[in-house]
Structure 1
């Protein structure tokens, strides 16, 4: 293996088949600071921005940041912030080197450096991929959790914040004091109404600092809602080794992605924006219909396949889809329960979208691990399944596949798969959920009931629904008796009959 790495010096020697930046990187000035420069941002928003720079808009370079770990900075800095985006499909792969990142700050090492970046006059957009946990809100009330350790720290330490909210609000305070304009806050997290959530959290944090500041923030910022979609699995050492063979140099910051990408954005920017539409983004007045289609079809089906497939011993989603019964399950879920719970925007081809999803899930080159998708289920399934479940219950619709999905999730957090092997459950509520399983494992009816009473996930409006409890208990009983794969096969045979 060569010891050379991807950087400005080795870039020209890459194979001709690799797409390289066609613009002058030294002429690019930053217009965006991104909080949370992980793999998804580099495969999605940065890819759209790269296309903007290729089209001649040189004032939209990105300054990245990490709010926790130096890992990404340590990968990118020796490479002059260049990295490869590898789009993988069953037909092969395409490699593109991305050059829009100009710098990357690690917040715990130097909070001041990140604040300085956020207060640069030319910064007009601050974008975020910080996951739901990064918004420090209380899901039960929808308000900012003022007792969150990071929020308490930040209110007491304005020069050294830890949270994204702290950095944003204190940077805006400095901009106000210096007579600088505000900026657009662009959430790119997979959350419903993400812009409105971000607006509320920023406003509440600013109000806790200073009422006048909160008013200024309200008048000088905007928070568009967005819907983002691209499958970006974790990059493995095997991925990096294969890429090194293709490039002739080592790229420790490479990201893998599927060819499909979608970005729907509410067109509400206070100081202009890149022409991302030229790179394929869709600008609309209302993101919500697109958001619900993605959450309830793509994310809902992804989680369904992840929990059921993992329990049945399948490592990747493509492996799950290679089993005919699971492929039929996915097709039926998308066409029935999930599609029944969405409104279709004018001009949107739902049938084509469903077919694209089945093809994406079957992408063998991606190796998107079921265990990875199954992470943090207690945070994800309220958005991915429960909205659909409420719609179906309210309208007398079918809930067979939704309750099957919930039963699989309950089995998963019980931490034992169908083969009797222990599961390493990655979830912030893992201990509480496993305790419920351990206590009620031998009584499916009780198990269904206590889970529906677990308000951090289900709220308080499903626990008395007898139809739901009975359907969930029936599936838990079936999974105990037959296992997941046989349960799916029997369900599909019943449906076909």
Structure 2
């Protein structure tokens, strides 16, 4: 982020917001009357450009006590960035040179849990837990990314060997993990009879809230089984599907906004116009009027989830590492290449679409083309490295599950297998020119060591990678055709830029 001051710009506050250009949309409700009703864990760019905006819309449609309290258990420090702006921030939507700006007012408080090496850690953690335990809070939502669940990606079960889970079992009153935080907050609420609560995950995790529920209950069984039983009975976990492309905000975004508006906004977020939100709620839990402003409330979110993860996210994961291994920095550059666009469309249409479930109200072929157009949006600087980050937590739902479905149907899966090989090379730190690769992944120490030891042995490299059962499961280790094809692709990716390998395949 840029450092203050930005020359000639004033910091965004309730007072300076009046100086924003008239073209910037303002909240159409009395923000001074807004009271907290939601705690959100992981108050990052995606949440602010998605759920916070939806909540702003819902408050305009039907005002109520649904102000958002943002809590970050890890960096960045939102209490400093957004607290200084009284929770106000702007969001920009960019496409085809057009920019739509809006001031969002639904966030009203922010808490950052300080690093535990500092004495105030315990205080900031307690403040966050008390906020979540407040009877006024009726909904806890979260966008903590896949690794925040402390689960085993291949199975969706709680990883009891995760260092944060080991800590939380030993010291449940001072949790480090997201499941541990939620368990302690729910323990306080249940002990105090704080009233009904629903928990809603907005992460790209299969059965996201059900996965979180398993993690919380798995932890509870080792901390307080009686509390676990009450959580299982009294707390609803709502699965969702969320969709909007929101790259990380860059210093240049903030500088450009300040130059054009005269206001320095350190909570600025940038995204695309498209948005979608599907919420599975069979219990009809209390929530803002999201359904009145476009969100879908359904009894089964799974078809929508599979569609989004295997098409939009599937294209991203299938080509982002291949783009990175072609030295392409942004997704729009990758998809702007005719070679990669053809590869992505052919892979999705031939290997993924035939096994997709029917999705009510969705034209799948039109969704595929729409997804490709969205990924080609050159106004969004969505980095291949950002998309590649934490790939070990994403590959199951985005590539491996459609791969298994394709293989089970007896169809060739060369496009998906090349994408998996691309991830293996990235995770192993194997660039065809031996350039250093910035591998950002919880499994990086393991995968890069495999790359170091087996980088010149494609078959051995693939065999060792497939032994990582927490990522790949156990079914592919003995599939000789799959192993041979992966090894062939890895050998090709070690000898030439990935774009040339893709061109040869198509």
- TM-score band by shorter chain is over 0.9
Mark the runs of 5 or more structure 2 residues left unpaired by the alignment: 1-6, 115-120
Residue 292 (structure 1) shift: 0.9
Cα distance in structure 2, aligned partners of 1:454 and 1:42: 35
SS in 1 for 2:179: helix
Aligned 1:83-482 pairs, distance under 5 A: 83-108=89-114, 109=121, 110-139=124-153, 142-269=156-283, 271-482=285-496
3-state SS of the aligned residue for 2:436? coil
Q: Counterpart of 2:111 in 1: which secondary structure? A: strand
Q: How far did 1:92 drift?
A: 1.3
Cα deviation 1:118-153 (Å, max 9, x = unaligned): 122221101111122222234466443344333343
| Cα distance change on mapping 1:325 and 1:70 into 2, 3 Å | closer
Give the equivalent residue in structure 1 for 2:86: 80
More off after superposition, 81-90 vs 449-458: 449-458
Alpha-carbon distance in structure 2 between the residues aligned to 1:34 and 1:346: 29
In structure 2, distance between residues paired with 1:318 and 1:444:
30
Matched, 1:60 2:74: no
Match of 1:32 among 34, 38, 42: 38
Alpha-carbon distance, 1:426 to partner: 0.9
Instruction: Indicate whether 1:2 and 2:47 are aligned.
Output: no
**Residues 416/151 of structure 1: CA separation in 2 closer, same or farther (3 Å cut):** closer
- Kept in 2: contact 1:33–1:118 (CA 8 A): yes
Structure 2: how far apart are the matches of 1:124 and 1:149? 30
- Count of residues paired in the alignment: 492
Contact kept? 1:184, 1:269, Cα under 8 Å: no
By how many angstroms is 1:276 displaced? Answer: 0.6
| SS across alignment from 1:11 | helix
Work out whether residues 301 and 330 of structure 1, in 8 Å CA contact, stay in contact via their aligned partners in 2.
yes
Please identify runs of 4+ aligned residues in structure 1 that moved more than 6 A: none
Q: Matched residues in 1 for 2:493 and 2:183: separation?
A: 49
Partner of 1:21: 27
The CA deviation at 1:76 is: 0.5
TM-score by length of 1: 0.94
Task: Give the CA deviation at 1:46.
Answer: 0.8
Match of 2:118 in 1: none
RMSD: 1.8
8 A contact 2:9–2:258 mirrored in 1: no
What is the CA–CA distance in structure 1 between the aligned matches of 2:350 and 2:73, rounded to whole Å? Answer: 41
- Relative distance call for 1:175 and 1:453 in structure 2 (3 A) is closer
Consecutive unaligned residues in structure 1, runs of 5 or more: 493-497
Q: TM-score, normalised by structure 2?
A: 0.93
Question: Greater CA deviation, 63-72 or 75-84?
Answer: 63-72
Q: Does 1:11 align with 2:17?
A: yes
Which deviates more from structure 2 when the two are superposed, residues 148-157 or residues 197-206? Answer: 148-157
Q: Is the 8 A contact 1:307 1:408 kept in 2?
A: yes
- Measured after TM superposition, the shift of residue 155 of structure 1 is 4.0
Measure how far apart 1:476 and its partner are. 2.2
Q: 93-102 or 147-156: which moved more?
A: 147-156
* Counterpart contact for 1:232–1:258, Cα < 8 Å: yes
SS in 1 for 2:71: strand
